[in-house]
A and B are shown apart, each in its own frame.
Chain A
Amino acid sequence: AQSVTQLDSQVPVFEEAPVELRCNYSSSVSVYLFWYVQYPNQGLQLLLKYLSGSTLVKGINGFEAEFNKSQTSFHLRKPSVHISDTAEYFCAVSLLGANNLFFGTGTRLTVIP
């Protein structure tokens, strides 16, 4: 069975400061990894994904994530956050050959002016 753990339910950070949102997964087989962002009253938007190759993945809005197989982690980072980054962020995994995504419980990022 697979699972996704987002260790922090809420992360407050000052504007222009760096941020890291943590995600760990467990799976007995290879997985694909994703980060999604959800703004209030909206659906989910894909930030970035890791399928294979380089472990450092760059996404939209200046976000990046690093896949660490030995630590089964896929932490999301941004060097300088903006007010507009305030949202809920979800880490998700998909098993090879599977038709659906398994999501973590989300991390609410609040950027403080």
Chain B
Amino acid sequence: DTGVSQDPRHKITKRGQNVTFRCDPISEHNRLYWYRQTLGQGPEFLTYFQNEAQLEKSRLLSDRFSAERPKGSFSTLEIQRTEQGDSAMYLCASSLAFGPNYGYTFGSGTRLTVV
């Protein structure tokens, strides 16, 4: 297990289409996070899971966004009816447990371009 994997690395979609991204965390990590990074900005928190439970959602996560983590393993982030403003890098991170001592391991991200 070499780290957090995200798929796909790049996605180009037409406005109005639905897209789904996948994140595979480090296997023993029970916490999984999604962040969004737009051009020239730092990452912004979207949501996090502890095992299969989604425990917190940012107000950035509109009703067009949905995230799941079935069985507490991989996670998916779906965006419905994409808009140009959704163009960003979507980053996934995982951690072993709660608290900054455990740190985050980030994946390489999925870059979404909505045309």
Contact = CB atoms under 8 A, between A and B. Distances in A.
Interface of A: 4, 9, 32, 34, 36, 41-46, 49, 51, 90, 92, 94, 99-106
Contacts, number: 57
B85 interface: no
Q: Is the interface of B mostly helix, strand, loop or mixed?
A: loop
Nearest to B103: A46
23 contacts: A9-B40, A43-B107, A43-B108, A43-B109, A44-B43, A44-B91, A44-B104, A45-B106, A46-B103, A46-B104, A49-B100, A51-B100, A90-B42, A99-B33, A99-B56, A100-B56, A100-B58, A101-B43, A103-B42, A104-B42, A105-B41, A105-B42, A106-B41
B91 A43 contact: yes
Interface string B23-40: 000000001010000001
Q: Report whether over half of chain A's contact residues are helix, strand or loop; otherwise say mixed.
A: strand
B38 to A, nearest CB: 10
B112 to A, nearest CB: 14
B2 to A, nearest CB: 12
